């Protein structure tokens, strides 16, 4: 599943008192994946530029100014690669915490010879905190951790505060898309999107992306997938 919310993997995350919104980094690292991180991260990673405004940081990293697409929680990376391929005139920023997934994403970017993707291992909310109005043209969150137990619902990434921050930084007409296979989470997302007055009415949409490995597993288990899309007014 996606996420990309909390780089620390500890309760409270990187900010004191923060509610943890993602699971710990996990998964075994093969030698091939470890090598991909070492060899490819210097080329494609954003690095540590937390002191810079996001727009300036991205201009420097990509070497150009273009519409920016933020992909939060990339899984194994196939959807991110497809997004970048489909929009060569735009730049994709991919945020992920799961290091084996990051390694696969880096390998996929390199194999596709894409110059319009950068990856960031960290907290998506921290990245958004450095963004200014209009810095992003689209934000996509694919299958964030659903935290299915009711007592854990406050840990979900896509809440009112997250949506409000996305609305702060989306350009007019910009898109926010959230996909989940967990029905209660889909209803929560629909409600917080509808409550944000700077966004249009959320609607279900056919995804313009490949079926990810996680999505295929969800469908095989009989869990319907919901894609909700809204636009910045």
Strand ranges across the sheet with 226-231: 117-120, 91-95, 68-72, 136-142, 170-180, 226-231, 203-204
Structure tokens at 87: 């929009």
Give the C-alpha separation, 31 to 227, whole Å: 35
Among 140, 37, 33, residue whose Cα is nearest residue 93: 140
6, 91, 135, 145: the active-site residue? 145
Q: Hunting for tokens 């990810």 — which residue is that?
A: 212
How many alpha carbons lie under 13 Å from residue 44 in its C-beta half-sphere?
Answer: 31
Instruction: Judge whether 115 counts as a catalytic residue.
Output: no
Q: Is 82 exposed, middle or buried (0-12, 13-18, 19+ CB in 10 A)?
A: middle
Reported in sequence order, the residue ranges of the chain that DSSP labels E, i.e. its strands, are 68-72, 91-95, 117-120, 136-142, 170-180, 203-204, 226-231
Residues forming the active site? 145
């Amino acid at each position: 599943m996606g996420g990309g919310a909390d780089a620390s993997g500890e309760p409270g995350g990187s900010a004191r008192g923060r509610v943890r919104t993602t699971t710990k980094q996990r998964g075994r690292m093969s030698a091939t994946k470890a090598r991909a991180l070492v060899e490819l991260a210097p080329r494609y990673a954003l690095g540590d530029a937390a002191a810079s405004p996001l727009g300036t940081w991205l201009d420097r990293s990509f070497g150009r100014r273009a519409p920016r697409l933020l992909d939060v929680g990339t899984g194994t990376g196939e959807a991110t690669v497809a997004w970048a391929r489909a929009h060569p005139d735009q730049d994709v920023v991919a945020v992920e915490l799961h290091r084996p997934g990051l390694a696969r994403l880096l390998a996929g970017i390199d194999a596709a010879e894409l110059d319009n993707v950068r990856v960031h291992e960290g907290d998506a909310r921290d990245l958004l905190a450095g963004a200014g109005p209009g810095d992003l043209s689209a934000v996509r969150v694919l299958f964030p951790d659903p935290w299915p137990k009711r007592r854990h619902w406050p840990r979900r990434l896509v809440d009112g505060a997250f949506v409000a921050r996305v609305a702060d930084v989306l350009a007019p007409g910009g898109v926010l898309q959230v996909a989940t296979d967990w029905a209660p989470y889909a209803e929560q997302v629909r409600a917080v999107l509808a409550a944000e007055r700077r966004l249009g009415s959320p609607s279900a949409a056919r995804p313009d992306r490949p079926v990810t490995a996680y999505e295929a597993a969800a469908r095989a288990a009989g869990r319907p997938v919901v894609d909700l899309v809204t636009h910045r007014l």
